[in-house]
């Protein structure tokens, strides 16, 4: 049973986790950088420990320091919150190797779903609809895929996120430069320049399904959030229930999200994102963490 929880984060999410821990009778442990010494999450915690200097690499991204503080404080679990190390499979493995509970999905699920091309292949095996496209490859294979599925297409980084490593291609003569720039950006941002291609669907909605998976295998869907209002692939407004989503489509998407969690061997909170047309949908990605937007679902 969890008795002492270290929250490897700061700000709003760390405060919310601490308040919940208090309600559950769990002792909370904060970590902080030098500039966060008087931050609210430090004041709310039952105990607080200095991580290091302000740069994140020396504090909130330092796996070794966080594990050491967990042992020093007598914590038996670590909650990563969102951002920083929340989707870092190496961090989850380090927790397990040091006898600590990682409050999140298992490392193998994080790695599978962290690769958009591998995730897409897994969804195909599970019968979850995926957009037409390639699963990765060299430039020649990307050109072949673009010709096969028809323009416009979207060049995407397999390890990407936040809109980086993505290019819309509307004419075949644009594809070579799009691949080159996407590879360069993906390599710099993620250390992995693997690309794949998908059909680009203009005017489709972006809808995500909140799920929670228990360690015994049960998965529950908490229905959807519409996050179509975006700027530079960053969500601006989310709402639920999603306007214009039929009961039948909502049920089909919830079932698909549950299958996605099962095929990945997922546990914990996660979000499955879809592109949605009038009467069909395609798997986009699965976020292996508690999302910033989860309070929208909590309000229902």
Count of C-beta atoms within a 10 Å radius of residue 16: 17
Q: Per DSSP, what are the bridge partners of residue 219? A: 213
- Contact, 78 vs 95, CB < 8 A? yes
Task: Round to whole Å and give the CA distance between 169 and 134.
Answer: 15
Encoding tokens for residue 62?
């330092």
- Contact, 271 vs 263, CB < 8 A? no
Length of the chain: 300
Helix intervals (H) in the chain: 11-23, 40-44, 63-73, 89-97, 107-114, 116-125, 139-149, 175-190, 247-264, 294-298
Tell me which residue has tokens 């390639």: 134
DSSP state of 90: H
- Count Cβ atoms within 10 A of the Cβ of residue 269 and give its class: 0-12 exposed, 13-18 middle, 19 or more buried: buried
Tell me which residue has tokens 């499979």: 89
The CA angle 167-192-287, to the nearest 5 degrees, is 75
Tell me which residue has tokens 């601006």: 236
Q: Which three-class secondary structure state does DSSP give residue 122?
A: helix
Does residue 289 have an active-site annotation? yes
Encoding tokens for residue 19?
């308040």
Which one is catalytic: 183, 225, 259, 289?
289
Encoding tokens for residue 237?
């407004």
Active site residues: 289
């Amino acid at each position: 049973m969890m008795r002492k929880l270290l929250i490897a984060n700061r700000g709003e999410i760390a405060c919310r986790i601490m308040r919940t821990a208090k309600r559950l009778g769990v002792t909370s442990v904060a970590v902080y950088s030098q500039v966060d010494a008087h931050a609210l999450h430090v004041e709310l915690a039952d105990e607080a420990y200095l991580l290091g200097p302000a740069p994140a690499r020396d504090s909130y991204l330092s796996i070794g320091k966080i594990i050491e503080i967990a042992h020093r404080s007598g914590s038996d679990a670590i909650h990563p919150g969102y951002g920083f190390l929340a989707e870092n499979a190496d961090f989850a493995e380090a927790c397990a190797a040091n006898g600590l509970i990682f409050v999140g999905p298992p490392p193998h699920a994080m790695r599978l779903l962290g690769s958009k091309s591998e995730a897409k292949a897994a969804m195909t095996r599970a019968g979850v609809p995926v957009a037409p496209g390639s699963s990765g490859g060299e430039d020649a294979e990307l050109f072949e895929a673009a010709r096969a599925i028809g323009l416009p297409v979207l060049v995407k980084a397999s390890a990407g996120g936040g809109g980086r490593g993505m290019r819309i291609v509307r004419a075949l003569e644009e594809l070579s430069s799009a691949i080159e720039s996407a590879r360069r950006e993906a390599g710099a941002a993620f250390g992995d320049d693997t690309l794949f291609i998908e059909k680009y669907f203009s005017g489709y909605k972006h809808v995500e399904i909140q799920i929670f998976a228990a360690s015994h295998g049960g998965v529950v869907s908490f229905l959807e959030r519409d996050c179509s209002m975006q700027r530079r692939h960053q969500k601006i407004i989310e709402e639920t229930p999603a306007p214009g989503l039929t009961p039948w489509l909502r049920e089909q998407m919830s079932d698909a999200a549950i299958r996605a969690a099962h095929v990945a061997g997922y546990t914990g909170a996660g979000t499955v994102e879809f592109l949605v047309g009038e009467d069909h949908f395609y798997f986009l990605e699965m976020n292996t963490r508690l999302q910033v937007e989860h309070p929208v679902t909590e309000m229902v």
